[in-house]
Structure 1
Amino acid sequence: MGLRVLVTGASGFVGSRLCPALIDAGHQVRAMTRSPQDYTGQGEAVGGDVSIPDTLPAALADIDVAYYLVHSLDSGDFVQRDADAARAFGAAAAAAGVERIIYLGGLGADDEKLSDHLKSRREVEDLLGEAGVPVTVLRAAIVVGHGGISWEITRQLVKHLPIMVAPRWVNTRTQPIALPDVIRYLVGVLEAPEARGATYDVGGPEVLRYVDMLKRAAVIQNKRTLPLFIIPLLTPRLSSGWLTLVTDVDFETARNLIDSMSNEVICHEDSITKVVPGELMGYDDAVRLALAERAAELEEQDAAKTPENEGDEHSRRSPAK
């Protein structure tokens, strides 16, 4: 019989893929969301909000392991908000008798001057375990998959710009990982006793600069070249404002992400590959998969908007005469 698992952020980018994967692996999944009445994914929907401690005991009751997949990049005070939420969640998990928390955090060398975003991710690791529950941490850089904010920025920049004026952070090295590999690792550490309380760097098979990611994504999207001009003095605030003009990412999220792009985020150890072995998906294949999933979703949305369906919907909503 599988474990009883809680997934926070169950309707989000990673959580929505993790829930069905856990169920397929034989586990009982409780999907925590702020609006359980609207939840359409897999698992038993339960209401809960990490920023409201009183909602957590019921969500965590009788749970063996909890996944923590939430953060607050879209707010100016995200550091404090994430710290308060992690501390409250860890305390509620300890009170409920949860055996372990699994957290998806961020890469970045401890000896480097980390951005507020990455420092916050590192702080959350500690705060989740402050009340005594062992925490398994997976540290990742950009996760390439349909719906991910970092990938959406890449896709939209490539799509909308004939040329790109960029700051020098485009030459920073990163180690993107495909969403299916992140899900495989998240499920795998649940079933590995040696992962209890351990921290792992997780990344794809290639170390790339951001500019390499943009140019390769451009080729895959049938743009032969993506002319790029680097302006060293382009400030984070100007970069953030520019990003909000050419993508649908809000200013606060853009600012917090861009602040992190001066930090090199690559793996410094590969012990996760021994705990959860398997072939990693390359960047180009991850991009193709993300684009294919987006295309399939758009096609499904278009099918739902056919005149026949719109007429049926109008008839159902119109009052009888």
Structure 2
Amino acid sequence: MRLLVTGASGFVGGRLVRALVDQGHDVGAMTRRPEAYAGPGTPVHGDIHDPGTLRAALADRDVAYYLVHSLDRADFRSADAAGARAFGAAAADAGVRRIVYLGGLGDDADDLSAHLRSRREVEAMLGEAGVPVTTLRAGIVVGHGGISWEITRQLVHHLPAMVCPQWVYTRTQPIAVDDVVRYLVGVLDHEDTTGRAFDVGGADVLAYVDMLRRAAVLAGRRAPLIVPVPLLTPSLSSRWLSLVTDVDTATGRSLIDSMSNEVVVRDDDAIRRLLPFEPMGYDDAVRAALADRAAGSGPGRPTVDAA
């Protein structure tokens, strides 16, 4: 099958391209700088914020994977909306049969953060021009090179104690990056996933505070002392985060805003019937991320995942 993967040099995209190539697919790796691309697949020039580049990138492709987000800019919501609309229209013009999108968990009945609301909007906008969309909704993706995991790793590495807002008690359902890739590859062979959205998650539902403590122990460090403070605002939290981790303030603010929303799988019966494998638990996902970092594998710079 002829496929296109956007975000091909990113945290999930790089692993997905490799998995699809290993299965024998003809994979175009879309990137703004094809001359610098050194990963698997065939580099293809394209930029969702430059619609004129998309028609050629999507030409003769059967399925396109959409894995790009713009959290590192203040106007990410409008930028993601414009990019999704442009990509969906170009895919329709090129005759693409299906778009597969990695979105975010979150209950539509909740007051979703701007980040999670944007993920829902992108789902709809990708399909506005008529190309059916398969959406996989994930929470925190654990793996070396993912920004949410990197925040966790750096916090437990640098701080023996931390003052945190009340969102540390919010529940989430982290998923290993290898399992995300397995789902993304798996839906390709199931036409009945077309036009549908599926929640995907790992084996464990945990509060953020438990994720931090368990990650510390697995990394061979003392579990940090965590002191929740009710009045620590998202703005102050993001500035603090940028001081103690590599995460820029804009990205940190967008992610922290989302941490007040519970992001757990509501119903995975359908996807588990179609793709019947047992996702990793959080501890095994952390061990794999630490092993990849020690081996120097995976992307060198943290990139935004689904959470």
Superposition TM-score, scaled by structure 2 size? 0.96
- The CA distance in 2 between the partners of 1:177 and 1:265, in whole Å, is 11
1:7 paired residue number: 5
Give the corresponding residue for 2:37: 39
Deviation at 1:285, TM superposition (A): 0.7
- Describe the superposition over 1:81-126 as per-residue Cα deviations: whole angstroms up to 9, x where unpaired: 0000000000000000000000000000010000000000000000
Q: Deviations over 1:53-107 (max 9, x none)?
A: 0000110000000000001000000000000000000000000000000000000
Q: Larger C-alpha radius of gyration, 1 or 2?
A: 1
1-side partners of 2:64 and 2:274: how far apart? 19
Given residue 32 of structure 2, which amino acid in structure 1 is its aligned partner? R
State the SS of the aligned residue for 2:296. helix
CA RMSD of aligned residues (A): 0.9
Deviation at 1:18, TM superposition (A): 0.2
Corresponding position: 1:132 with 2:164: no
Q: Distance in 2 between matches of 1:170 and 1:251?
A: 19
Partner of 1:184: 182
Matched position secondary structure for 2:151: helix
Which aligned pairs between 1:187-206 and structure 2 lie closer than 5 A?
A: 187-206=185-204
Give the counterpart letter for 1:217 in structure 2: A
Where do 1:217-256 residues align within 5 Å?
217-256=215-254
In the alignment, the residues of structure 2 paired with residue 162 and residue 279 of structure 1 have an alpha-carbon distance, to the nearest angstrom, of 34
SS for the counterpart of 1:263 is coil
What is the alpha-carbon distance in structure 2 between the residues aligned to residue 276 and residue 133 of structure 1? Answer: 23
* Aligned-pair CA distance for 1:225: 2.2
Q: Secondary structure at the match of 1:239?
A: helix
Match of 1:287 in 2: 286
C-alpha displacement of 1:26? 2.0
Secondary structure in 1 matching 2:11:
coil
Residue pair 2:160, 2:223 contacting (<8 A) in 1 also: no
1:163 maps onto 2:153 in alignment:
no
Mapping of 1:306-321 within 5 angstroms? none
1:108 equivalent among 106, 109, 113: 106
Equivalent residue letter for 1:277: P
Q: Deviations over 1:30-66 (max 9, x none)?
A: 0000000000000010110000000001100000000
- 3-state SS of 1:76 partner: coil
Q: Aligned residue for 1:273? A: 272
Residue 14 of structure 1 aligns to a residue in which SS?
helix
Displacement, 1:193? 1.3
Structure 2 unaligned blocks of 5 or more? 301-307
Q: Which residue of 1 aligns with 2:304?
A: none
Query: What SS does structure 2 have at the residue aligned with 1:165?
Result: strand
User: How big is the shift at 1:23?
Assistant: 1.1
Partner of 1:30: 28
Matched, 1:81 2:82: no
Name the residue aligned to 1:55: 53
Q: 1:241 Cα deviation (Å)?
A: 0.5
Alpha-carbon distance between aligned partners in 1 of 2:164 and 2:220, rounded to the nearest angstrom:
21
For the Cα contact (< 8 Å) 2:156–2:223, is it kept in 1?
A: no
CA distance in 2, matches of 1:186, 1:169: 29
Report the secondary structure of 1:95's partner residue. helix
- The structural deviation recorded for 1:224 is 3.0
The amino acid across from 2:252 in the alignment is A
2:305 aligned partner: none
Displacement of 1:24 in angstroms is 1.4
